[in-house]
């Protein structure tokens, strides 16, 4: 009985959780430092979300965003009737799955290979060459491609003609473009993406590698049993972040390299380029907004489902 009273007395003396105001007063300097980031997110991410109403309006310049007539789901109906929504959704999804999976393989692989290089100068030079494509804009990449593969004046066709072969018209061959677009994306993002994996590798405990060397493990065994398993948490975070944008296409890649070729659209058109053409060619702001909202909902649902699945398998790998 005495013991129970002592326990109650100790419990009663325990201080309660500090109020939000007390915490804010105590850490006001940290909150002040956080304020610019909060303002940035509010101004550029949350306030623009009010423009979603355009998807449910027949936009008119006189009425503006909030004064145009309300038409409900008519813009979404127009999207479905167009017959292209399924095609561009399929293309966006399949391309992004290829970009994600191949991106992980090439980014992680190149980071591991760079880490295994012994010469510091050669290592830095290799990393610089890998990083260089990231700084080349898609406009420049598209222009280079056009000058190489142009049917009449392209370098590639000149070489073929010199060898006695007939010219190859790439811009009229839809079947070749999925491979070209995947190659270009991997070429451009591998150097940049490998930086994250290199940072993760440099943070690994070197004693594990030393112990493995003492036990007689070779370089491949250390990569297989130490490096790759240690990179899985980083890979999962990057994968989940990529899944969050799995229905968003790289507009620069799909527009600047393909241009506006109607023949190539069935295999190269994605939601982003479809929305752009709706807006530019048809000036249909309402339907364009509806397509953008449809895209955002798909991304939100996908990342939520994937995050829940990951949370059930291993909560440590979940984003939230």
Half-sphere exposure of 152 (CA within 13 A, CB side): 0
pLDDT in tens, 99-150: 999 999 999 999 998 888 877 888 888 888 888 889 989 999 988 888 888 8
Nearest-CA neighbor of 127 among 220, 192, 197, 183? Answer: 192
Cα gap 282→109, rounded to integer Å: 45
More confident residue, 178 or 61: 178
DSSP helix/strand/coil, 72: coil
Distance, in Å, from the CA atom of 15 to the CA atom of 4, rounded to the nearest integer, reads: 19
- pLDDT in the model for residue 13: 46
Name the 3-class secondary structure at 57: strand
pLDDT in tens, 258-309: 877 788 888 999 988 888 888 888 778 888 888 888 988 988 899 888 888 8
C-beta contacts of 147-151 below 8 A and 24+ residues apart: none
Q: What was the pLDDT predicted at 61? A: 82
Distance CA 241, CA 104 (A): 12
Total-model pTM: 0.82
Report the sign of the C-alpha dihedral through residues 289, 299, 142, 158, in that order.
negative
- Name 23's Cβ contacts closer than 8 Å, sequence gap at least 6: none
Read off the pLDDT of each residue in 191-198 and give the average, rounded to a whole number. 89
Chain-wide mean pLDDT for the chain? 85
Match 């009449």 to its residue by tokens.
152
Supply 227's token pair. Answer: 């490096």
Confirm if 240 and 319 have CB atoms less than 8 A apart: yes
């Amino acid at each position: 009985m005495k013991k129970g009273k002592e326990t109650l007395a100790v419990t009663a003396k325990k201080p309660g959780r500090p109020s939000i105001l007390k915490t804010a007063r105590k850490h006001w300097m940290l909150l002040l430092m956080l304020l610019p980031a909060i303002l940035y997110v509010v101004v550029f991410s949350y306030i623009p979300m009010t423009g979603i109403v355009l998807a449910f309006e027949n936009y008119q310049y006189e009425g503006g965003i909030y004064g145009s007539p309300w038409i409900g789901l008519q813009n979404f109906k127009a999207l479905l009737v167009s017959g292209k929504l399924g095609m561009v959704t399929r293309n966006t999804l399949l391309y992004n799955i290829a970009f994600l999976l191949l991106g992980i393989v090439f980014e992680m692989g190149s980071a591991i290979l760079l880490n295994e290089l012994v010469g510091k100068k050669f290592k830095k030079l290799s990393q610089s060459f890998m990083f260089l494509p990231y700084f080349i804009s898609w406009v420049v990449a598209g222009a280079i491609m056009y000058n190489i593969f142009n049917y009449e004046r392209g370098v590639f066709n000149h070489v073929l003609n010199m060898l006695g072969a007939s010219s190859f018209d790439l811009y009229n061959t839809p079947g070749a473009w999925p491979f070209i677009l995947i190659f270009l994306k991997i070429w451009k993002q591998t150097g940049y993406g490998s930086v994250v994996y290199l940072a993760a590798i440099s943070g690994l405990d070197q004693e594990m590698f030393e112990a493995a060397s003492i036990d007689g493990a070779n370089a491949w065994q250390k990569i297989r049993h130490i490096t790759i398993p240690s990179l899985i948490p980083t890979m999962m975070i990057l994968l989940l972040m990529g899944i969050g944008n799995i229905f968003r296409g790289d507009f620069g890649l799909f527009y600047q390299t393909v241009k506006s070729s109607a023949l190539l659209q069935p295999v190269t058109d994605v939601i982003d380029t479809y929305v752009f053409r709706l807006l530019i060619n048809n000036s249909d702001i309402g339907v364009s907004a509806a397509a953008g909202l449809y895209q955002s909902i798909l991304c939100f649902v996908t990342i939520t489902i994937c995050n829940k699945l990951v949370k059930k398998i291993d909560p440590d790998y979940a984003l939230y």
